[in-house]
Structure 1
Amino acid sequence: MSAARAVAGPEGSATAPEDDVRWSRSVRLPGFGLDAQGRLRAARVLVVGAGGLGAPVVQYLAASGVGTLGMVDDDVVDRSNLQRQVLFSPNDVGRPKAHVAAERVRAAAPEVEVVVHPVRLTAETASLLDGYDLVVDGSDSFDTCYLVADEAAARGLPVVWGSVSRFDGQVSVFWDAAPDGRSVDYRDLHPAPPASGWDESCADVGVLGPLCGTVGGVMASEAVKLLTGVGEPLLGRVVTLDALGGSWRESRLRRAPHRAAERERAAASRQWADPEESRVEPSASAGPVVTTASPAAPVAASEARAVGPDVSADDLAELLTAREEGVAEFTLLDVREPDEHDFAHLPGDVTAPGLGVRTRQRPELDPAVPVIVYCARGPRARAAADLLAGEGFDVAVLDGGMLGWQLRADAAARR
């Protein structure tokens, strides 16, 4: 990618003299200048999600001089957001995030046109991507990431993507219509959703607040590079930040041949790209923040089982009492990470961190004893339960996970 291929197109109108001092630190940068600043003023950027990542992104893009900022978010500010979503204050709790973010941007950068989309991005609302030059994806669900990837690809739009979980963050640039045969998108990194819909948010596993600012700042920098054509974007590269270890690493990402063929056909039908541009080298490892387990080993049909009905928190309380009295036998399996278990766990459980999601390794379990699996909320436990059921275990999932159990305890304490 070179400065000649800026995604925002022509540079637009020159910066007004009275605003020159505002952009003076940018225009002095080698290779930047007034032309790049003009491209920013002419650019239209859609930011999906006004939360932990979207908040710093919109602040920096507005301060950098992006002409039009669209913000998509249907959520309201919650008190738990204040630990990392730096656009908001306690007085904003209960207010729509997109509207509050727009107010902050207009106050800080009145010359920026702010377009508020207080809706959830779905296939029905995806037309709002029309008219934008670039999408920044700060969403926190696999479903939205896939939707952004597919809808942006259909329009030939580049996507700056970021993700945070616990102490780890990732940033990359996807562009299905990239020049020079460099096409790559989110589905090249995550070809399919993780097992059993594993999609737990920071509400389940936590996130380091300042990490959101670090990752969001890198995302904003990537957006500026794409819009101005300055520098080399993270296209075909995934940067992973380990905040706990204080390290960064880079992984290469290339399109697999079968995906290249699929995209060639789609591109030809839409007539917005040369099919030959999609031919790239086979895929390389990219080390995602959330990885899926390898497919379960084949088992005989007679051995495999279906996962049983969920066990409620009340039912589990009765089972625990019965087990203490010696009239019930079952294994309670915690598949959360060790620090989550150390913080709070259920009595008499057995740990199997990451089972079904990032590993197949587990402790020895008696196949004659029923298993109840739990995690923070449920998705990780369902992935582990699928794996165990395929191995012939009589297995069920604790409905609501540890959070549901704690809510039951809180309700009991209030009575």
Structure 2
Amino acid sequence: MKLPPLVAAVSSLSNEEITRYSRHLLIPDVGLEGQCRLKSSKVLVIGAGGLGSPALLYLAAAGIGTLGIIDFDRVDESNLQRQVIHRVATVGQLKVDSAAEAIHALNPYVKVERHEQRLEPQSAVQLFSQYDLILDGTDNFATRYLVNDACVLAGKPYVWGSIFRFEGQASVFWEDAPGGVGLNYRDLYPEPPPPELAPSCSEGGVLGILCASIGAIMATEAIKLITGIGDSLLGRLMVYDALDMTYRQMPLRRSPGRQPITALSDYQAFCGLSAPQGVQDSDIPSISARQLQALRESGQNVLLIDVRDRAEWDIVRIHGAQHLPKGPKTAELIEARFGKQANLVLHCKTGVRSKAVLRELQARGFSNVRNLEGGVLAWVRDIDPALPAY
């Protein structure tokens, strides 16, 4: 859908900038006016991770005047497989600082605004109001719904991208789009999936190069919106399959019965990631890594069941654990193999998937089963740091 330019061309270019952006200026659809629109724009990128990295680099190279970055995380070695804005030398730094260094090294004419905090409902609308356009490269549903609702309340368009393993998706959402054609993320996903069915890239993995493909689409859509060129992805979902090397487009329509967004809420609870206020998750018996180690050292007969995927099991495992990947019949297999009276401790990478299996076992009458708090990562951190974390 073709939209009018989002940003007015109020900034002018220096001689040095004319030289730098000359290949843009030679394109009739962009030209001097379009480049001035880019320089006049303020774009906020949420997350300096897999999608934020290529998007930030290309937006900086394109000459966006002000780039905001919001991210509370620090650079980790596991990020470097796909988060190309970071370097070995910046491992341990705040991602906003690492990203700002790379942007300044690439284009000193870009102003970088750093927001070193977690995006929260209390501040999201005010923050978004300071920018012309938002790019959402986050990897969890709670933040995606927060971004969507805050953009609706702030009246801002945003470009959304998502990646998992070999597939990526991208679209543009803008509730207040000209012409009454506004859509938002809730038209695509009216309700979030259960947490155990929505693994992040840290649990399910992602092909690193996929970030470049989807991040480039996001940056392209941002430039098109700012300058008013081409047809935006508003009203369309772009799906990319890297294995088949195919792009598919699906039309998006306003979801029937969608309720107006009037305020922000508790998105952790909405996505099933926390118990409702005043309610404790006491129906899930748990055990810490140190408590489990003490039980094993005391000679107690504890059966440790690993419900992760085979690829994760091959990377790292707890000595003595048995592997039964989470699936539709996992609880049935555990009951058939070990019986309801077995002393079981379930675990996955962080504890989410194993908690889901534990609930299934409770429904079958198991009473002596616990969930390992923090999963394999907690075991590596607290008991056996010689094992690799992933």
What is the TM-score of this pair, normalised by structure 2? 0.79
Contact map agreement 1:73 1:119 (CA 8 A) in 2: yes
CA distance in 1, matches of 2:286, 2:219: 43
Structure 1 residues 12-21 or 222-231, which shifts more? 12-21
Is the contact between residue 289 and residue 372 of structure 2 (CA under 8 Å) also seen in structure 1?
A: yes
Distance 1:345 1:19 in 2: 54
Distance 1:337 1:124 in 2: 37
* Structure-2 change in CA distance of 1:388 and 1:238 (3 Å): farther
The one-letter code matched in structure 1 to 2:142 is: D
The answer to whether the aligner puts 1:399 opposite 2:373 as a matched pair is: yes
- Quote the offset at 1:373 in angstroms: 3.2
When residues 192 and 247 of structure 1 are mapped into structure 2, their CA distance, relative to the original with a 3 A threshold, is same
Other-structure match for 1:341? 313
Amino acid at match of 2:227: T
CA RMSD across the alignment: 3.4
In the alignment, structure 1 residue 86 sits paired with structure 2 residue 84: yes
CA–CA distance in structure 1, aligned partners of residues 9 and 133 of structure 2: 15
Aligned to 2:257: 258
| Residues 176 and 183, structure 1, Cα contact 8 Å, conserved in 2 | yes
Map of 1:143 onto structure 2? 142
Closer, same or farther: CA 160–391 of 1 in aligned 2, 3 Å: farther
SS at match of 1:386: helix
Contact 2:302-2:345 at 8 Å conserved across structures: no
Q: For 2:329 and 2:168, locate their aligned partners in 1 and report how far apart those are by CA, in whole Å.
A: 24
- 2:225, 2:142 → 1: CA distance? 25
Q: Which residue of 2 aligns with 1:133?
A: 132
The 3 A distance-change label for structure 1 pair 249 and 389 is farther
Match of 1:77, SS state, is coil
Residue matched to 1:68:
66
Asked if residue 384 in structure 1 is aligned to residue 383 in structure 2, the reply is no
**Distance (whole Å) between structure 2 residues aligned to residue 203 and residue 111 of structure 1:** 34
CA–CA separation in structure 1 for the residues paired with 2:295 and 2:166 = 36
* Matching residue of 2:286: 310
Mean CA deviation greater in 158-167 or 242-251: 242-251
Superposed CA offset, 1:86-127 (max 9, x none): 222222233222133223323322222222222222123322
| 1:386-415 residue CA offsets vs partner (Å, 9 max, x unmatched) | 3443455445322222223334552589xx
- 2-structure distance, mates of 1:140, 1:33: 35
**Distance change in 2, residues 1:392/1:150 (3 Å):** farther
Q: 1:196 to 1:219 in 2, by over 3 A?
A: closer
Distance 1:342 1:307, change over 3 A: farther
> How many angstroms does 1:47 deviate by?
0.9
Of the three residues 321, 324, 332, the one matched with 1:351 is 324
Partner Cα separation in structure 1 for residue 306 and residue 249 of structure 2: 32
Residue type at the aligned position of 1:378: G
| Cα displacement (A) at 1:228 | 1.4
Which blocks of at least 5 consecutive residues in structure 2 are unaligned? 264-270, 273-280
1:374 matched to 2:347? The reply is: yes
C-alpha distance in 1, partners of 2:79/2:357?
Answer: 30
Paired residues in the alignment total 365
Q: Of the candidates 99, 105, 108, which is equivalent to residue 107 of structure 1?
A: 105
- Please tell me whether the aligned partners of residues 82 and 90 of structure 1 are also in contact (alpha carbons under 8 angstroms): yes
Greater CA drift, 130-139 or 394-403: 394-403
Q: Which amino acid aligns with 2:384?
A: D
Q: What's the secondary structure of 1:172's corresponding residue?
A: strand
2:207 alignment counterpart: 208
Offset at residue 63 of structure 1 (A):
1.0
Q: Match of 2:69, SS?
A: strand
1:124 partner SS:
helix
Summarize the alignment of residues 4-403 of structure 1 with structure 2, pairs less than 5 Å apart: 5-8=4-7, 10-29=8-27, 31-126=29-124, 127-196=126-195, 201-259=200-258, 262-263=259-260, 266=262, 307-314=283-290, 316=292, 333-345=305-317, 347=320, 349-353=322-326, 355=327, 363-366=332-335, 368-369=340-341, 372-390=345-363, 392-394=365-367, 395-403=369-377
- With over 3 angstroms needed to count, the CA separation of the structure-2 counterparts of 1:248 and 1:338, relative to structure 1, is farther
* CA shift digits 1:306-358 (9 cap, x unpaired): 84411333555677799xx9x8586x5544333223434454635344x4xxx
Q: Tell me what 1:282 maps to.
A: none
Amino acid at match of 2:254: R
- Deviation of 1:60 (Å): 0.7
Stretches of structure 1 that go unaligned for 5 or more consecutive residues are 268-291, 294-304
Structure 1 residue 44: deviation in Å? Answer: 1.1
Which amino acid in 1 is paired with 2:2?
Answer: S
- Contact 2:306/2:321 (<8 A) preserved: no
Deviation at 1:199, TM superposition (A): 6.4
Which residue identity is paired with 1:149?
A: N
Amino acid at match of 2:375: G
Change in Cα spacing, 1:317 to 1:101, as seen in structure 2 (3 Å) is closer
1:154, CA displacement in angstroms? 0.2
Structure 1 counterpart of 2:2: 2
The one-letter code sitting in structure 1 at the alignment partner of 2:120 is T
Change over 3 Å in CA distance of 1:62–1:233 after alignment to 2 = same
Question: TM-score when scaled to structure 1?
Answer: 0.75
Provide the rounded CA distance (Å) in 2 between the counterparts of 1:93 and 1:47: 20
How many percent of aligned residue pairs carry the same amino acid?
Answer: 41
2:68 maps to amino acid:
G
